[in-house]
Chains A and B, each alone.
Chain A
Amino acid sequence: MKTYIRSTVTISPQKTFNNPVFLNELTEYTSNRLTCIEPDYSEAIDPKLIRRMSRIIKMSVASALACLKDAEIASPDAIVTGTAYGCLEDTGIFLTNMVQENEEPVTPVAFVQSTHNTIGAQVALLIKCNRYNNTFVSSGASFENALLDAMMLLAENNTTNVLVGGMDEITDMSHIVLSRMGLYKRQPVSNLNLFNTNSKGTINGEGVAFFLLENTPSENDLACIDGAATFYKPEDIEGIKQHISAFLITQHINYNDINLLIIGNNGDAKNDEIYERLRQSVFNEIPSINYKHLCGEYPTSTAFATWLGANVIKNNNTPASLNNNYSPKTQINKVLIYNHYQNIYHSLILMSSC
């Protein structure tokens, strides 16, 4: 069932929040870590409430409230979020306190706000929404599962709109720990040159993206989401191709119907080999753009890709700043997002013009 994107807002390492122009300039980082460009929250959130909010909560609440405002909806029928790491900063604070205080009672706010569903709850409390509220925590499929839940809710008769979001943050500690696991490049690299490095590791990223989805069309829709699917630990490249083909069959389209691919290359030679093999086979004829040089690699990066896809469809073009030499010959009708997270969690999101 088609769902309609009434509004979408993202806070990312690019200038994407409160910026009416779609990626008019790219922000360059020479590091293996991309950090979100945060707005002045005092305009979006009551200062009395901000004091307890960690960075990921502030980014998420500001994005969610802006998304609802853009859609002119005070309170949605449901709030669904997807996050792999949750409120990691608060988790680190209360665990550190617990060690430092020899497991004596520790500061409660960090503990209370460390749970993964804090974000959905904070948004609901602020807008006094006591309807369906759910959070999906499933690593690289967290956002996709939230999106699928939102789409299933909208397919039911009693839900007309859903606020759905994906978010994850980097903390100093998580960056150190994940770096030790060899996930990121050891040498500083420009994010704008990420795909020419041909080396091991990627760049760490973070971000928040919210969408107001509806089950009926309107004149103000940015794009539609036709369907989404995930698959787990495919055996080999042929298995991946089979999953992609099966998904397209369920969507009643062929590879030729796809106008643009948004694809999850992250600059890690081994990781990107999967994308290259698909580009040389089933995706051979389809123009594609990358997105992880904009936001970095993180488990819910497909939320950013979906924001990108919605804006590409709305503008019927890719931003010139991407330098991808793509100029659509006709209307961009179908955009397919394909991503895998560490070759464990694979996902497909099909979007279309309304």
Chain B
Amino acid sequence: MDKLIVDLKEQIAVQLKLKNIKPEDIGDDEPLFGAGLGLDSLDVLELIVLLKQKYKLRVTNPEDGLKVFKSVRTMAEFITANGVQNT
């Protein structure tokens, strides 16, 4: 899980072009949206594509999206729960 979280942070930083934020500065439980990392609705689409391209996972239910994209840890838990160990 720890390695997956580290990988996810790097992938998020690249996919969302977070040039002023180092991957290691993103907290495991830091909210991705709102007061946390400050991402927006267009970033959600980027994260959905990231999960599809890197982990072959689809987030089809909007209700699930709210839980999955809460933080890096919840994304890692979703990936692990769907049987993906790492890239």
Contact = CB atoms under 8 A, between A and B. Distances in A.
A344 B85 CA distance: 59
Interface residues of B, number: 14
A109 B38 contact: no
Nearest to A51: B17
Contacts of B42: 52, 108-109, 112
B3 interface: no
Given A48-B38, A112-B42, A105 B49 contact: yes
Given A48-B38, A101-B53, A108 B45 contact: yes
A167 B60 CA distance: 40
A293 to B, nearest CB: 34
Contacts of A105: 48-49, 52
20 contacts: A47-B20, A48-B38, A51-B17, A51-B18, A51-B19, A52-B17, A52-B42, A104-B52, A104-B53, A105-B49, A105-B52, A106-B49, A107-B15, A108-B42, A108-B46, A108-B49, A109-B42, A109-B45, A109-B46, A112-B42
User: By DSSP majority rule, is chain B's interface helix, strand, loop, or mixed?
Assistant: helix
Interface of A: 47-48, 51-52, 101, 104-109, 112
A196 to B, nearest CB: 43
Nearest to A108: B45
B43 to A, nearest CB: 9
B1 interface: no
A108 B49 CA distance: 8
A112 B20 CA distance: 23
Contacts of B16: 51
Contacts of B53: 101, 104
Contacts of A51: 16-20
Interface in B1-37: 15-20
Given A48-B38, A52-B42, A105-B52, 4 more contacts: A51-B18, A52-B17, A105-B48, A108-B46
A112 B45 CA distance: 11
Nearest to A113: B42
A101 B53 CA distance: 8
Given A48-B38, A112-B42, A107 B17 contact: no
A107 B52 contact: no
Contacts of A104: 52-53
Given A48-B38, A112-B42, A107 B49 contact: yes
